[in-house]
C-alpha cells in the first residue's frame, strides 16, 4: 500500500497545476523567509559552528593525550559535527555557495575516489604542511573537509591514533577539524551579518543585488528543498540502491566508514521538514491550493517511517532484502517531495524554481 500511495503522489505531483499568480502582498510573501532565517537558518549555522568547535577540541585532546577513550570521544564529536552539517548543507545559497565553502566542507560526490587517494598520498609522504590549519585553505578541497577527516579518524590505520609516538596523522586530523570550524564560523557570522545575505533575502527591491521582488524571494525559498531532495536521491541514495541484478556497493555511500550514511540522510530529512514547517510557506498559497500541504506532510511522514527502520550500517541494509527494498521506496519519496516543492507549489504560485546548481553536473 505504501508503494501504491507513493506512486499515486508522484503522478499527482507531475500533473499540470493551475497557474495562480502570487497575489499576496510583498510583505506577506516575504514573511515565511524572514521567519525561516531567524528561527531556523541562523540558529542552525550557530549550532554547526558550535559542534565543529567541539570536534576540534576533542581531536586536539586526542593528539595531546592519545588513548582509546580520547579516540572514541573524537570519533563521537566528528559524528555530532557531521550531523550538524546535515542540517545546513542543503542551504546552498548565500554564504555556503561562496568561496567554494560547500566543496571545502564536503567533497562529494567523489566518484573517482580523489579524496581517498589524496589523503592516503599525504599520509604516505608525511607532508608536514597539512598539520598547520593555516595551510589547508590553499590545498585541494579534497583535503579540507569531512570526507578527509572521516578517513583520518575511521579509515585504515586510524586505530593507531590511540597510541603515542606518531603525531602526524592526528596533527593532520586536527588541522582539518580546525579548518572546518573556521569555515563554519564564517558561515554563521555571515548569516548574522548586518546588511548581509539574510538582509538581502528578506528585503527585496530594485537596488538589491540578489532579490528584486517578492517573487524572486519565494522562488529561492522553494528551490532549496526541491534541489535538496534531488541531491538526496541522486547523490546519497541511488548509488547504494541495488541494481536490477541485486548488486550494490556499500562503499559507494557517503560516510560508510563511520556508519553515518543513514543517520546523515535522516538528519537531512528532519532539517528539511523543519525548514518547511517553520517557514509556514503553505500560508501564501491560494486557499484552494493549500491541500498541497497535506501531500507534503504525508510524504514526510512516510519518509520518517522508512528512515526509522534504516538506522544501521549500509552493508547491513543491503544484506537484508526487505531493508534494501525500502531504500528504493525512499528514492520514490524523494522524487515525490522534489516534485511537490519544485513543480506543484511553485506552479500554484505562478513561479518556477529557477536554476539548479546541479544542472550540468
What does the domain layout of the chain look like in residue ranges?
A: 2-30+214-348, 39-191
Tell me which residue of 54, 48, 37 sits closest to 187, measured CA to CA.
Answer: 48
Q: Rounded to 5 degrees, what angle do the CA atoms 114, 63, 152 make?
A: 15
Tell me which residue of 300, 82, 92, 81 sits closest to 187, measured CA to CA.
Answer: 92
Are 241 and 248 in contact, with CB atoms under 8 Å apart?
yes
Under DSSP, the state recorded for 320 is S
Are 279 and 33 in contact, with CB atoms under 8 Å apart?
yes
Statement: the pTM of the whole predicted model exceeds 0.85 = yes
Q: For residue 329, count CB atoms less than 10 angstroms from its CB and return exposed for 0-12, middle for 13-18, buried for 19 or more.
A: middle
Are 326 and 310 in contact, with CB atoms under 8 Å apart?
yes
Are 261 and 237 in contact, with CB atoms under 8 Å apart?
no
Provide the H-helix boundaries in the chain.
2-14, 26-36, 42-64, 68-86, 101-105, 114-125, 146-154, 168-191, 197-202, 214-231, 261-279, 292-308, 314-318, 321-339, 346-348
Dist. CA 240–CA 310, nearest whole Å: 13
Please give the CATH superfamily to which domain 39-191 belongs: M75 peptidase, HXXE motif (1.20.1420.20)
* Tens digit of pLDDT at every position of the chain (361 positions): 444 444 444 444 433 333 335 545 588 899 999 999 999 999 999 999 999 999 999 999 999 999 999 999 999 999 999 999 999 999 999 999 999 999 999 999 999 999 999 999 999 999 999 999 999 999 999 999 999 999 999 999 999 999 998 899 999 999 999 999 999 999 999 999 999 999 999 999 999 999 999 999 999 999 999 999 999 999 999 999 998 888 899 999 999 999 999 999 999 999 999 999 999 999 999 999 999 999 999 999 999 999 999 999 999 999 999 999 999 999 999 999 999 999 999 999 988 665 454 554 4
pLDDT for 173 equals 98
Instruction: Tell me, rounded to whole angstroms, the distance of Cα 269 from its chain centroid.
Output: 9
Dist. CA 87–CA 10, nearest whole Å: 25
Amino acid at each position: 500500500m505504501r508503494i501504491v500511495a507513493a506512486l499515486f503522489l508522484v503522478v499527482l505531483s507531475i500533473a499540470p497545476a493551475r497557474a495562480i499568480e502570487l497575489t499576496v502582498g510583498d510583505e506577506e510573501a516575504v514573511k515565511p523567509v524572514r521567519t525561516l532565517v531567524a528561527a531556523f537558518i541562523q540558529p542552525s549555522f550557530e549550532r554547526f559552528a558550535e559542534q565543529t568547535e567541539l570536534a576540534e577540541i576533542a581531536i586536539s585532546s586526542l593528539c595531546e593525550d592519545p588513548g582509546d577513550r580520547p579516540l572514541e570521544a573524537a570519533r563521537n564529536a566528528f559524528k555530532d559535527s557531521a550531523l550538524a552539517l546535515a542540517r545546513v548543507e542543503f542551504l546552498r545559497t548565500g554564504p555556503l555557495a561562496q568561496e567554494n565553502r560547500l566543496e571545502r566542507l564536503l567533497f562529494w560526490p567523489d566518484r573517482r575516489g580523489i579524496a581517498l587517494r589524496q589523503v592516503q598520498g599525504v599520509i604516505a609522504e608525511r607532508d608536514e604542511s597539512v598539520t598547520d590549519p593555516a595551510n589547508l585553505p590553499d590545498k585541494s578541497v579534497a583535503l579540507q573537509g569531512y570526507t578527509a577527516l572521516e578517513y583520518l579518524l575511521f579509515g585504515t590505520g586510524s586505530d593507531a591514533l590511540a597510541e603515542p609516538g606518531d603525531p602526524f596523522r592526528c596533527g593532520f586530523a586536527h588541522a582539518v577539524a580546525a579548518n572546518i570550524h573556521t569555515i563554519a564560523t564564517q558561515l554563521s557570522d555571515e548569516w548574522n551579518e548586518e546588511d548581509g545575505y539574510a538582509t538581502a533575502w528578506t528585503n527585496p527591491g530594485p537596488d538589491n543585488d540578489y532579490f528584486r521582488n517578492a517573487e524572486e524571494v519565494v522562488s529561492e525559498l522553494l528551490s532549496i528543498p526541491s534541489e535538496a531532495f534531488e541531491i538526496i536521491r541522486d547523490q546519497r541514495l541511488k548509488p547504494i540502491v541495488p541494481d536490477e541484478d541485486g548488486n550494490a556497493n556499500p562503499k559507494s555511500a557517503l560516510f560508510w566508514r563511520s556508519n553515518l550514511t543513514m543517520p546523515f540522510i535522516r538528519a537531512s530529512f528532519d532539517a528539511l521538514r523543519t525548514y518547511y514547517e517553520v517557514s509556514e510557506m503553505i500560508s501564501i498559497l491560494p486557499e484552494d491550493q493549500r491541500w498541497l500541504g497535506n501531500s507534503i506532510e504525508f510524504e514526510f511522514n512516510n519518509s520518517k517511517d522508512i528512515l526509522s527502520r534504516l538506522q544501521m550500517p549500509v552493508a547491513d541494509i543491503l544484506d537484508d532484502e526487505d531493508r534494501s527494498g525500502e531504500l528504493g521506496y525512499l528514492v520514490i519519496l524523494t522524487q515525490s517531495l522534489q516534485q511537490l516543492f519544485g513543480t506543484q507549489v511553485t506552479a500554484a504560485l505562478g513561479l518556477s524554481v529557477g536554476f539548479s546548481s546541479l544542472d550540468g553536473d
